[in-house]
Amino acid sequence: MPAQTDTLLRYRPWRGTLHGPLWSALAMARVSLRLMFRRRLYWGLFALTLLVFFFFFYGQYLVVWITTQVADDTVPVAGMKVPIKDFTRFLDRLALNGTTHTFGNFIWFEGYVVVIVLALAGSVLVGNDFAHGSLPFYLSKPIGRWHYVLGKCLAIGVFVNLATTVPAVLLWIEAGLLFDWRTYYLDNLDLLAGVLGYGLVLTVTLSLMVVATAVWVRRAVPMVMVWMGAFVLLRMLGGWLADILGDERWRLIDLWNDLYLVGMWCLGADPATLRPQPQPAYWEAGLVVGGVCAGCLLYLRRRVQAVEIVN
């Protein structure tokens, strides 16, 4: 008579629904998200992105309230009566009025925190796979190399959209509620499409850059240094060269500014209203962003294909 434990030792076939290899990218993205959500540092950085969002959220409400209620009043500042319009002039620079520059400025300021979040995510989700030899295990399964890259890019894209696109859409909804919602939503559907387009550009570009950089440096500290150099040092260098040499094309070495220009093109902004001035043309920034994406894809193709697989 067979023992009761014999049935537990036999092969039990999979009884669920079998999917194609493309579904493996979703599984890797799900596991990557769980891995990041368990880290307290990520939640601390995500709280900083929420602070920027709440500043714009309540700032937009404050501007509307001041305009409709106490626009003609004054407030005491250093013993003088200062009109509220002059007191809130700094809010006008942020364009907290539900227009194109409201969302452009919001995503611009979110970028300071997004860079740190993505540097952490890249080292944890991708760099550790190369450092600890986990990638050959993934590729030994019946999936392709690009399924692995796609899964990691999807996970990183979730972080990008949680910090930029989703809050920007909420700001668009709030603007419609504060202003005349009967006309705002219909008249600014192209603005919503621009926000989604801006988010798509950020998702594709930054996810490819994160994966490529993590494959290259692998560790968290070197990756943070590389990203700070690419998004902070090059920004300062590009602005300095543009001012000294008088050629705005030097700003093209600032990738975040290039993404900003492409995003403002999606939003339909007038190039003359961008800050700082002068700025390169939209198509020049688009070429730089496209070149960066193409370079990341070529580098990933070379490095991922070089991984030995044991079936």
pLDDT tens per residue, range 130-162:
666 666 666 666 677 777 788 888 888 888 999
Q: What does the alpha-carbon distance between residue 183 and residue 156 come to, in Å, rounded to a whole number?
A: 36
Residues of the chain with pLDDT under 50: 6, 311
Can you read off the two tokens belonging to residue 215?
Answer: 């494959």
What is the predicted pLDDT for the residue at 215?
A: 82
Residue 161 and residue 147: Cα distance in Å, rounded?
A: 21
Q: Where are the alpha helices (DSSP H) in 164-188?
A: 165-178, 181-187
How high is the pLDDT of residue 232?
Answer: 81
| pTM (two decimals) | 0.83
- Hey, where are the domains in the chain? 28-305
Average per-residue pLDDT for the chain = 80
C-alpha to C-alpha distance for 225 and 207, rounded to whole angstroms:
17
What pLDDT shows up at residue 167? 92
pLDDT at 198: 93
Tell me what pLDDT residue 295 has: 92
Kindly list the distances between the CA atom of residue 253 and the CA atoms of 223, 232, 245, 271, 291, in Å, as whole numbers in the listed order.
Answer: 19, 11, 14, 18, 12
State the residue for tokens 């537990």: 8
High-pLDDT (> 90) share of the chain, %: 15
The predicted pLDDT at position 86 comes to 58
Helix (H, G, I), strand (E, B) or coil at 81: strand
